[in-house]
Amino acid sequence: MGLFDKIRGEFIDIIDWTDDSRDTIVWRFPRHENEIKMGAKLTVRESQAAVFVNEGQVADAFPPGMYTLDTQNMPVLSTIKGWKYGFNSPFKAEVYFVNTRQFTDLKWGTQNPVIVRDPEFGMVRLRAFGGYALRVIEPVALLRELAGTDPAFRTEEVSEHLRQMIIGKLGPALAASGVPMLDLVTQQGQIGERIANALNLELRPLGIEISRFIIENVSVPPEVEAMIDKRTQMGIAGDLNQYSQFQAANAMEKAAQNDGGAGAGMGMGMGMALGQQAAAAAHQPAQPQQSAPAGPPPLPPQDQWYLGANGQQLGPFDFSALGQQISSGTLTADTLVWKQGMPSWTAARQVPELNSLFGQVPPPLPPQA
């Protein structure tokens, strides 16, 4: 630094900062031996804050606006320096500009999968990635806890720490949601808000917060994706027969792409087989699926007989009970009988089904001498 720069550094009269980096959170104003002229102009733009540090101690903090640096609007620094009367000599202090706007398009992602228990698939390994926005809410706390004396504190210096915190909160948030893996896409917004709230509880004492948190995608390992694709294909096919045809069609297409004769022959043979199978299915009426009976079918119902004896209707009687009525003399060959399906009452002798009953009755005993 030349003599002219040293002299100019001792009489700095304009202090401001315009950021063109888009990723600088804290920037220290450069000056020779920290000397700032009393009465200098300080310009703090919107989305900025200026913090004066004297001998390692925060002296003053200024929100957006234009200030004339003197003992009237710098009470804290004046107290530290012991200035009780105004004077124009330079004072020494470090000036840090803090960017309070939102830093967007910050990315996060899982290097290693997070293992969670899914109600449908059991234990699954999930990977996720997304973005978030960061902003400073307390410039003094940021300087004390994170930036320190760094002349240019950038987002890359805190992004890895934030990524580790995000991954630490991701697993518990997914597990606590209770949402099946296939339905996570419908709950990504709510899960992202839950993660942001958990992160801010730890970040606000550091002077920063997550103003926006987005989960862009949650994915599973390739082998699980392959099984999900198989299940989807089977669901589209409808049944195993159609799924077999679907698989055969895929195999035929791959064989047809083979330039060799074997591939062509295989494709032709499979095409003919599929054609025959389709033709047979077209001419065969659809039959409902029948399940094998669990046991023998129920016995057929027995005929119920009614008797007309002594001017009264008796019954109903099954076939075995008619033999008892014959033994008691209630049913004879001339007794009128009827059952479901007969047009009218008929004498028992005229019903062929009952002839066997009367043949079993013993003849009357011969008269005794």
Mean pLDDT, 10 residues at a time, over the chain (369 residues)?
Answer: 50 80 91 73 93 84 88 61 53 88 91 83 87 95 90 92 91 83 86 92 94 90 79 65 68 68 53 57 56 68 83 83 82 86 85 78 63
pTM here? 0.57
* Residues 42 and 67 sit within 8 Å (Cβ to Cβ): yes
Residues 173, 198: Cα–Cα separation, whole Å: 9
How far separated are the first and last CA of the chain, in Å rounded? 165
Tokens read off for 198: 């958990």
- In the three-class reduction of DSSP (H, G, I as helix; E, B as strand; rest coil), residue 209 is classed as strand
- Which strands form 57-62's sheet, in the order they lie side by side? 57-62, 48-54, 94-99, 24-28, 152-154
Exposed (0-12), middle (13-18) or buried (19+): which is 208, by Cβ within 10 Å? Answer: buried
Nearest one of 174, 175, 171, 131 to 155, comparing CA atoms: 131
Using the structure block, give the residue that is written with the tokens 């957006």.
64
- Amino acid identity of 269? G
* Residues 163 and 134 sit within 8 Å (Cβ to Cβ): no
- 287: phi then psi, degrees, rounded to nearest 5: -115, 140
Number of helical (H) and strand (E) elements in the chain, helices listed first: 10, 18
Nearest one of 59, 161, 171, 47 to 115, comparing CA atoms: 171
- In the three-class reduction of DSSP (H, G, I as helix; E, B as strand; rest coil), residue 149 is classed as coil
* Residues 271 and 264 sit within 8 Å (Cβ to Cβ): no
Q: How far is CA 118 from CA 69, 124, 248, in A?
A: 62, 7, 33
Residues 58, 17: Cα–Cα separation, whole Å: 19
Q: What is the DSSP letter of 73?
A: T
- In the three-class reduction of DSSP (H, G, I as helix; E, B as strand; rest coil), residue 91 is classed as strand
* Residues 358 and 333 sit within 8 Å (Cβ to Cβ): yes
- Amino acid identity of 322? L
- Amino acid identity of 22? R
72: which residues sit within 8 A by CB, 6+ positions away? 86
Residues 117, 115: Cα–Cα separation, whole Å: 7
Using the structure block, give the residue that is written with the tokens 């059991």.
122
**Which runs of E-coded beta strand occur in 80-169?**
91-92, 94-99, 103-109, 114-118, 122-136, 152-154
